[in-house]
Amino acid sequence: MPLSTLTGYIDIHVHAGPSIFPRSVTDMELAAEAQAAGMRGFVLKAHEECTVSRAQLLRAQFPGLEVFGSVVLNWYVGGLNPYAVDLALQRGAKIVWMPTGSAKQHIQYYGGSEYTAQKSTVRLLPQPPISILDQDGKPLPVLYEILDLIAAADAIAASGHLSPVETKVFVEVARARGVAKILVAHPDLGLNQMPVSLQLELTRQGAYVEKSYLTLMPGWQSITLEELVASIRLIGPERCVLQTDFGQANHPTPVAGYRQFLNMLLDAGVPEAWLFRMGAENPAALLGLPSPAG
């Protein structure tokens, strides 16, 4: 039987317009659809800008909907820029993402900051690849500075499009610097795909791992539904976070996609209590919200 409600659920990783990429919904359309579906909220992610101001405007228009902004450390905000991080956190950003389109791993995988599955609507200058590691494989000093800011704000440090090797170092350094909330971004997605054994290792160090609907979609698929479910069973629902990563113009809207994803997992044998843990309770804990009623 399909899920009857999305009450309490939060999509912690979602895209909307305006954007440099074609999007299926605007910010306002996403918020209206989420509220109508009974969702608790979402976190806006944009590869090109901090979304704190956009989230603030949505909260004013949609009282009761938990909408939060984030910042991605691509070149558009100065790369690994502690000034951008500090200001974003002071203004309420809940997630600081390591580089995505500017990441060394992303540029090597796609041959540039674009994606094969979607193209920017504006011209993008060639970007020097960003790594969190120096030529000797050591963390850059600025990474410590950024993680210290995240720790002080009790915000979420997310891995972005780092390589598996970088992500492992990222989690270790974040823990050492006192970051309590660490999120490994879509580790099943092709561009930064990592073995489940490494995902399990990182969760045992205290990180959460995203389980993303995008990894099952045509043009992006890098894992089967059976493999995704098996990884959830191995890791356990306590350290998995469901998200769509939707917003792409050729996909269902993020809210419709979230519902599809939940029902797909339910049909594949994932217990409803697990879905609520991964899609409602874990995101709430990461965002510092009261635990939802199941």
Cross-strand partners of 26: 17
At residue 112 the predicted structure's pLDDT band, cuts being 50, 70 and 90, is confident
Domain positions in the chain are: 10-287
Q: Which residue has the higher pLDDT, 112 or 169?
A: 169
pTM for the structure as a whole:
0.97
Contact assessment for residue 244 and residue 18, using Cβ atoms and an 8 Å cutoff:
no
Cβ neighbours of residue 197 closer than 8 Å, sequence gap 6 or more: none
| Each residue's pLDDT tens digit, 16-62 | 999 999 999 999 999 999 999 999 999 999 999 999 999 999 999 99
CA contacts within 13 A on the Cβ side of 136 = 4
Question: What confidence score (pLDDT) does residue 294 get?
Answer: 59
Residue holding tokens 């790594």? 131
Q: What six digits make up the tokens of 163?
A: 């390589």
| 10-287: CATH superfamily | Metal-dependent hydrolases (3.20.20.140)
Q: Which of 257, 210, 217 is nearest to 97 (CA)?
A: 210
Residue 235 · residue 200 · CB < 8 Å: yes
pLDDT in tens, 113-164: 888 888 899 999 999 999 999 999 999 999 999 999 999 999 999 999 999 9
